[in-house]
């Protein structure tokens, strides 16, 4: 049997209530907010600056609090807290997971795909891009519940695992020569599109004439065999709209999932209990109808239910909130697109936990899990590095995620996830070493994003029943 906590807020705030719910959910306990007419003595936790004498935990409110350096540096613990938490972790979490700290950034802070450039972010200015600060606050809160209220919540991860790493692969260029297959002159494309496409086709023809293996990027079987060797699963994100389609752009992929070659791969992925997700097109964010079309097309061709997505190039437009809102309306259960641009690894909103994004317009949570990415292969390897340097950086990040009991998602492209082609040989070798490292730690749950999503939703139901 698990208990639930009652908390009281001095100033009513739907956003701060959302943060309380997030904290309690990760801690595995049910939360109940006392209404404004309730006696504050009935609450276990009080948030504000005018607490009662009997409340066991008081979190003092301070709108200026964002980074609690002493906690992050492990210079303070729950045992140092009598009953007053003098740093406002509620406010700090709300500012970070809503990305309020990066509000009003100038246009130069974003790249040509409208992604925040890490080096120009709040996180970079404060030198905290590599720290999941929210996780430290959650871990502290969880320990307070155990120490002060003697509450043990439902574990965040199954089987006594201490953290989770989600493996995923964007399917961008599985076929070297896909760009040569569609018609030469599709309708509704401008001169610039045709010019760039001519260059891409010329490059593909030169590769073909030089004898480049057409299948050395088609690594689905190699990847699944390597991951299954350790009992791992992963998610493959396929695009169902390409650069030749009506709203396709020059940035979109070239392949067509209706090609016969994909049918066998889809079946192989599902038979092995790996996951198929949607790699939303570059312009998908422009319309709910685009999301619906792309989702249904992939489901019909692959013969699976598609629960999750990642945007191609992580392109969510200038208003990512509006895009996140459309995810819920079009039936997705999770997204994993919020990340920095290609220049650096990091925790985009300083969080390595699953969370529901906050919608300030409707003043409620968006019921689509955000599963945060901390590493894309290119973050490490666009700038050439020795294998040992790259893998050590991955180990360091994974160590922090494990230390705080969190979730980290890794995005490794299919063509670079196995050392079979010369162009991405180092990338593939690094990924194999990553799998070996993860396999040596039985306290880490390594699986697909769909498995993570399913477990979290099952766990949420258990929490709701925890006081029965």
Domain-wise residue ranges, the chain: 4-153, 159-176+212-464
CATH class entry, domain 159-176+212-464: alpha beta
Residue 55: predicted pLDDT: 85
What pLDDT score was predicted for residue 41? 58
User: In angstroms, what CA-CA distances link 316 with 246, 281, 321, 336, 412?
Assistant: 19, 10, 9, 11, 19
Question: Rounded to an integer, what distance in angstroms lies between the CA atom of residue 75 and that of residue 334?
Answer: 36
Residue 261 near residue 294, CB atoms below 8 Å: no
Residues of the chain falling short of pLDDT 50: 1
The tokens 């925790």 sit on which residue? 347
> 232 Cβ partners below 8 Å, 6+ apart?
167, 435, 438, 439, 446, 447
Pairing of strands 364-365, 358-359: antiparallel
- Name the token pair of 106: 């100038």
**Rounded to whole angstroms, how far apart are CA atoms 215 and 174?**
8
In Å, how far from its chain's centre is CA 119? 20
- Global confidence as pTM: 0.94
The 10 Å Cβ neighbour count of residue 291 is: 23
Q: Give the three-state DSSP class for 170.
A: strand
* pLDDT of amino acid 2: 52
Tens-place pLDDT, residues 152-185: 899 999 998 999 999 999 999 999 888 888 777 7
The most distant pair of C-alpha atoms in the chain lies apart, rounded to whole Å, by 81
Cα separation, 365 vs 369, in Å, equals: 10
- Specify which residues 116 forms β-bridges with: 110
172 close to 414: Cβ distance less than 8 angstroms: yes
Other C-beta atoms closer than 10 Å to the C-beta of 424 total 23
Asked if residues 16 and 47 have their Cβ atoms less than 8 Å apart, the reply is yes
CA dihedral 90, 27, 409, 247 (to 10 degrees): -60
- Which pLDDT score is estimated for 1? 41
Q: For residues 298 and 317, what is the distance between their CA atoms, to the nearest angstrom?
A: 22
The pLDDT value given to residue 387:
66
């Amino acid at each position: 049997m698990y208990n639930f906590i009652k908390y009281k807020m001095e100033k009513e705030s739907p956003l701060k209530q959302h943060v309380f719910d997030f904290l309690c959910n990760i801690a595995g306990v049910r939360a109940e907010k006392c209404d404004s007419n309730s006696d504050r003595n009935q609450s276990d936790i009080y948030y504000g600056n005018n607490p009662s004498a009997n409340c066991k935990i008081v979190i003092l409110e301070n709108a200026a609090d964002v980074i609690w350096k002493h906690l992050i540096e492990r210079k303070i613990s729950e045992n140092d807290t009598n009953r007053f938490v003098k740093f406002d972790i509620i406010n700090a979490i709300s500012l970070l997971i809503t990305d309020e700290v990066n509000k009003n950034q100038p246009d130069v802070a974003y790249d040509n795909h409208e992604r925040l450039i890490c080096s120009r972010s709040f996180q970079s200015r404060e030198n905290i891009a590599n720290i999941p600060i929210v996780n430290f606050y959650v871990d502290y809160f969880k320990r307070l519940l155990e120490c002060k209220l003697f509450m043990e919540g439902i574990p965040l991860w199954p089987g006594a695992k201490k953290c989770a790493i989600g493996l995923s692969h964007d399917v961008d260029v599985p076929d070297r020569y896909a760009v040569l297959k569609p018609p030469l002159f599709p309708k509704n494309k401008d001169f610039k599109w045709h010019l760039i496409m001519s260059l891409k086709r010329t490059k593909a023809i030169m590769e073909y004439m030089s004898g480049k293996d057409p299948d050395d990027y088609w690594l689905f079987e190699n990847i699944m065999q390597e991951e299954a060797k350790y009992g791992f699963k992963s998610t493959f994100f396929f695009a169902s709209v390409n650069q030749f389609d009506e709203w396709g752009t020059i940035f979109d992929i070239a392949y067509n999932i209706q090609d016969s070659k994909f049918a066998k791969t889809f079946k192989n992925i599902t038979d092995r209990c790996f996951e198929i997700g949607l790699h939303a097109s570059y312009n998908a964010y422009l319309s709910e109808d685009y999301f619906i079309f792309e989702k249904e097309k992939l489901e019909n061709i692959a013969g699976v239910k598609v629960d999750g997505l990642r945007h191609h190039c992580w392109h969510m437009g200038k208003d990512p909130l509006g895009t996140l809102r459309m995810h819920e309306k079009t039936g997705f259960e999770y997204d994993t697109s919020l990340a920095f641009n290609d220049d650096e690894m990091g925790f985009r909103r300083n969080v390595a936990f699953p969370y529901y994004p906050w919608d300030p317009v409707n003043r409620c949570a968006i019921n689509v899990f955000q599963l945060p990415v901390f590493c894309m292969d290119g973050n490490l390897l666009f700038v050439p590095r020795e294998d040992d340097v790259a893998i050590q950086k991955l180990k360091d990040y994974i160590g922090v995620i494990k230390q705080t009991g969190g979730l980290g998602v890794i995005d490794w492209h299919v063509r670079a996830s196995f050392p079979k082609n010369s162009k991405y040989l180092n990338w593939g070798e690094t990924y194999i070493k990553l799998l070996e490292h993860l396999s040596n730690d039985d306290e880490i749950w390594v699986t697909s994003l769909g498995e993570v999503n399913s477990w979290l939703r099952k766990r949420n139901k258990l929490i709701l029943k925890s006081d029965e």
